[in-house]
Amino acid sequence: MFYHFLYPLHESFQLFNVFKYITFRTFAAMLTALGLFFIFGRSLIDYFTELKVGQFIREEGPQSHHVKKGTPTMGGVLIVGTAFASTLIWGNLLNGYVWLCLGVLVAYGAVGFIDDYRKLTRKKNEGLKGRYKLLFQILFALTAGVIMLGFLDFDRQLYFPFLKEVHPNLGWFYLILIVLVIVGSSNAVNLTDGLDGLASVPNVMAFMTYSVFAYIAGNSKIAAYLQVASVPGAGEVSVFCGAVMGAVLGFLWYNAYPAEIFMGDVGSLSLGASLGLVALITKNEILLILVGGIFVLETLSVITQVVSFKLTGKRIFRMAPIHHHFELKGWAEPKVIVRFWIISMILAILSLSTLKLR
């Protein structure tokens, strides 16, 4: 919004030329979302507390979690709201990728909201049935994919890190990849959101990494120099990433151990789907395995646990997702959280270092 109203004034006042720069608007979007969360965060917590919008804790989980019962949940509503508002304020609203990111953020947030709402009304940890949740996720991912491939003239070549000459054209089969990445990322972040603040820092690090990738992909000269895929218009996605980072950091202020509010599915599903979409837009979907390594680890721990139990009747971990395994081994919750944070930071650094290794 500011880009459209204030940047044209640069012809009369040179100061307004700053609104042209994506880097400036990315940082501004982050600070705006952060500020909005600080303004409305406490009021939301008090309001949800008054409504008794409390989290339900599954009985088979770590016993230490039962003290969290009744803690307000659905804090992801404000994550989605502040990220959306901040992107509108600082983004180029003529850019199709910006609206696509906002659409996916809101759509998956709506699925999460319905899931959280049903848990609250039923007063137990069972929300929207898994098959319906997955159906909506697939439908929204398909819609995003059709828009990308059919209306945004998106490059259908698949790029592999370190393999400069290998980028096969998938044609409309790229749509399958889009669905797998968005839906998979959405559920992976959802599985990770099990401890106070655990999912927040990995999300911030991942979106920070992809904000850099988006800026590079949107700048043809830098992309050519680094020999990575150029995606015209992708630079504006950096502004969206900045807004999400600010929103999540604001949420972390209240969600840090011991949490005053939980994210809920409305937050985790929308953040995961948005992360997957950004990875696709920047043509770094394969690198998401490294960037979102924490989310991948959590997902694999659940998959291997289920497969092992069904095939052998034995469990590999004391409990899945894997963060609960470490808790049951005797690690204090804050130690599990901070160590996962550290790993996410290392993975972000490694991911960014691949730019010069390609």
What was the pLDDT predicted at 80? 98
Alpha helices, DSSP H only, in 193-292? 200-218, 220-226, 237-255, 264-281, 288-291
Cα–Cα distance measured from residue 336 to residue 314, given in angstroms and rounded to the nearest whole number: 24
Average pLDDT over residues 65-89: 88
- 291: closest CA among 209, 229, 187? 209
pLDDT computed for residue 212 by the predictor: 97
Lowest mean pLDDT segment, chosen from 219-223, 225-229, 286-290: 225-229
Residue 175: per-residue pLDDT: 97
Whether the CB-CB separation of 324 and 58 falls below 8 Å is answered with: no
Question: How high is the pLDDT of residue 94?
Answer: 95
pLDDT reading at 163 higher than 90: no
User: Which residue ranges make up each domain of the chain?
Assistant: 21-357
Confidence of residue 349 (pLDDT cuts 50, 70, 90): very high
Between 231 and 166, residue with greater pLDDT: 231
Position 66 pLDDT exceeds 90: no
Mean pLDDT of all residues in the chain? 91
Question: Residue 107 and residue 145: Cα distance in Å, rounded?
Answer: 14
Percent over 90 (pLDDT), the chain = 74
Instruction: Of 259, 237, 265, give the one whose Cα is nearest residue 80.
Output: 265
Place of tokens 């968005």: 182
**What tokens appear for 348 in the block?**
């972000």
Q: What is the CA radius of gyration of the chain?
A: 20
User: Could you tell me the pTM of the whole model?
Assistant: 0.94
